[in-house]
Amino acid sequence: PRQPAKTLWYDRPRYVYLEFCVEDSSDVRVVFEDQRLVFSCKNADGVEFYNEINLYARVNSKDSREKRSDRSIMCFMRKWKEKVAWPRITKENIKPAWLSVDFDNWRDWEGDEEVERAMVEQYAEV
C-alpha cells in the first residue's frame, strides 16, 4: 500500500519549494506539469510513497527541478507569474494532513531575490 510522504512547502518570489521528507529514498520519480506535481519513491524499508498535488497556480515545468539527499527530496518549481505570492500550494482550499508550511524557511520577500538565486544555483550544481 502507498502512503503520502510528509511534505513541507514555502513560497519565494520566483520559485515555490517543496520538500518530501523521506529518508534513504530510492526509485524517486518527480513529474512536473504546468498545474500539477506527482512524486513517488520508496524508503529503505520498501514503503511506497506517493503524492499528487494540483498546484495553486501554473509553474514552468521546464525550469523546475528536484534534488535528492539522504533525508529528503527537495523540489523547486519556477512560477509562471513571478513575484505573485501563493497563499497555499494546492489548487483546492483544503490542507491535506501530510502537508505543512515550512516555517523555518518562510519569510517576507523583502530583498530575498539574491538569497533565492544563490539557493537555486546551489541546487543546480549537483
One DSSP character per residue, 96-124 reads: -TTEEE-TTT----TT-HHHHHHHHHHHH
Task: For residue 45, give the CATH number of its domain.
Answer: 2.60.40.790
Is residue 100 one of the residues assigned to a domain? Answer: yes
The confidence score (pLDDT) of residue 67 equals 97
Q: What integer is the mean pLDDT of 61-70?
A: 96
Number of domains comprising the chain: 1
Please, what is the average pLDDT of the chain?
91
In a domain, 1, yes or no: no
In contact, 116 and 124? CB cutoff 8 Å: no
Query: Is 35 a domain residue?
Result: yes
pLDDT band of 9, cuts 50, 70, 90: very high
Q: Looking at the domain assignment, is residue 110 inside a domain?
A: yes
Which domain range does residue 57 map to? 7-125
